[in-house]
Chain A
C-alpha cells in the first residue's frame, strides 16, 4: 500500500461546478498537508497548506483535513476553465531528515466552459 493514495481521474466538470478532490494516507505521523496545482508542461505550485484538522479557506479554495480518517480534501467553488490542471496532494512528517514531501500521483481536472 502506497503511503498516499489519490484518484488520478480525469475529472471533467462544467464551469461553475463545485469540485472535490481527495487523498487518503496510511501513516498517522504525517502532520503537514499541502495541495499543489500543476498546469500542463509546468512545475507544481503550492496552492494550500495546512497542519491541523478542520477547514482552511482561501478564496474559492477550501482545504479540509480529517486526521482521524487519514483523509484530506480540496474543494473548488465556482470552478473556472483556468482551474483546469493536475492537483497533487502532498504531506510530510515533522522535522529532521523526514522533512521531505510525499506526493500523491495527482488528479487531472478539466473545467469545461
Chain B
C-alpha cells in the first residue's frame, strides 16, 4: 500500500526555534508538493519539485522557509526562525507529474508558541 509519509506528525515549539518537517513521497513519483492548511486561508501551495529540482516556490516566505529534496526519497521543509503565525498543518503530496493526481500525506501539525 503505497503512501506518502510525513514526520513528525505533531510538533510544538517556541517562537524562534528551527523546525524541520520531512516527507517520503511514493516510490516512483517524481513530483513533490508542499502545502500549508489553516482555517483562515485553507490549503495553500508553498513549493513544488520535479525530479528533485524546485519548479515553483513563490508561495513560500523566502526569508524563513526553505524546501529541499536531498534525494528522491526525501523532501524537507524547514522554518528558521519559526513564528506563531506559522502554526498550521503542513502537507506533503506526490505525483507522477505536476499534472497527475496528487497523493497527500497525513500532515504535520505545527504549533509555534
A interface list, Cβ under 8 A from B: 41-46, 49, 88, 92, 95, 97, 99-101, 103-106
Give the docked Cα–Cα distance between A92 and B105 (Å): 20
Stretch at the interface among B12-20, B40-48, B66-74: B40-48
Known: A46-B101, A46-B103, A103-B42. 10 other contacts (CB 8 A): A43-B106, A43-B107, A44-B43, A99-B98, A99-B99, A100-B56, A100-B98, A101-B45, A105-B41, A105-B43
Contact A45 B104 (CB under 8 A): yes
Residues on A with beta carbons closer than 8 Å to the beta carbon of B21: none
Interface string of B24-46 (1 = CB under 8 A from A): 00000000010000000111110
Report the separation of the CA atoms of residues A103 and B103 in the bound assembly, to the nearest whole angstrom.
15
Give the Cβ gap from B34 to chain A, nearest Cβ, in Å: 11
Contacts of B53 in A (CB 8 A): none
